Structures are given as C-alpha cells and as structure tokens.
Amino acid sequence: MGMTLVIVVVAAVLVLWVIGMYNHLVRSRKQVDNAWAQIDVQLKRRCDLIPNLVESVKGYAKHESGVFERVTAARTRAMAAVGGSAERIAAETELSGALKALNVQVEAYPELKANANFLQLQEELSSTENKIAFARQHYNDSATNFNTAIAVFPSNILAGMFHFQDAPLWQITDPAERAVPKVSF
C-alpha cells in the first residue's frame, strides 16, 4: 500500500510538472504572437501612409519614377507576405530600404521639404518607424525567450513532442541598413 502511494504521488508530480512546462511554452509562444501583432499594427499604419507620401513627392519629383516604383513594389510585397514569417520580415526590410531611397530623393527638392502636408506625413512616418523599432525589439526579446525555452533541457523534449518551432528573429540583413549615416554641417 505504501509503495503504491509513493508511485501515485511521483506520477502526479511528474504529470503536473509536464503540464506546467507545456503551459509555460504555450504562454511564451503567445507572447511572441502578441509581439508580432504589435509590429503588424505599426507596419499596417506605415503601409497606409506610404501612398500619401508617394503622391506628395510625385507632384514635385515627376522624373523620379524608379524610386516610386520601388517603394510601391516593396509595399505590395510587404502587404502580401504572410504573418510572422521570415518572408514577411524580408519584405518589410526591403520596404524600409525603399523608403530610405525615397527620403534621399526628397533632399533634392527644398520646396517639397517646406510643404506642410509633406512635413506632416513625414512626421507621422517617422513616428511610426520609431514605434516599429520598439515593437521589433519587444518581438525579438519575446522570440529569444521562447526559442531559449524550447531549446533547453528538459523542455526541449516536450517542445519536440508537441512540434514547437523557433520563432524567427527580426534581423538586419541589408548591408545598407548597417551603414552609419553621414552627417555634414
């Protein structure tokens, strides 16, 4: 009777431990999903601002069609990419690069930089880019915590059994994004 009780208690503790570990992995995955959703909200806002920004610039820089086409194509790919996938991360990185190229073109048009509508759009886009940066940082923190949780022993065994997979990190892949901006006075 005493040995049976010990076995039942050990089995119950083991089951509760597995349940607790599984719930921890699920909570961590949900944090990653939530962090991605926060990025997604800001990316959607940025995509909504881009057509207005491009139209504002087009009025002043009619012969810069290559830059407009690049921004529009990058926006289309970003909007078509799926959820929190590596493809979406790459598409959004490409869009960021295209927007930087557009901003470089804007420098050649001082009258555009003085336009109130353009200035407001540029300020909204700048604010959105800052929010995206903070959301990306939160996402990467959540993804790193989750990836660590599914990689360490013994939770890696449970993670493998239930097919938990690494969440992709948002990384800079474009060398141009790593370049230090030039400042001149």
Q: What is the DSSP letter of 172?
A: -
Buried b (16+ CB within 10 A) or exposed e, 7-28: eeeeeeeeeeeeeebbeebeeb
- Give the amino acid at 55: E
Rounded to whole angstroms, the Cα distance separating 22 from 158 reads 7
Rounded mean pLDDT of the chain? 84
Per-residue pLDDT band for 81 (boundaries 50, 70, 90) equals confident
Q: Which helix (H) or strand (E) holds 119?
A: helix 116-151
Identify the weakest region by mean pLDDT among 6-15, 45-54, 105-114, 163-172.
105-114
| Predicted local distance difference test score (pLDDT) of residue 37 | 92
| Predicted local distance difference test score (pLDDT) of residue 183 | 41
Per-residue pLDDT band for 16 (boundaries 50, 70, 90) equals very high
| Predicted local distance difference test score (pLDDT) of residue 162 | 94
Where is pLDDT greater, at 27 or 118?
A: 27
Rounded to whole angstroms, the Cα distance separating 71 from 39 reads 20
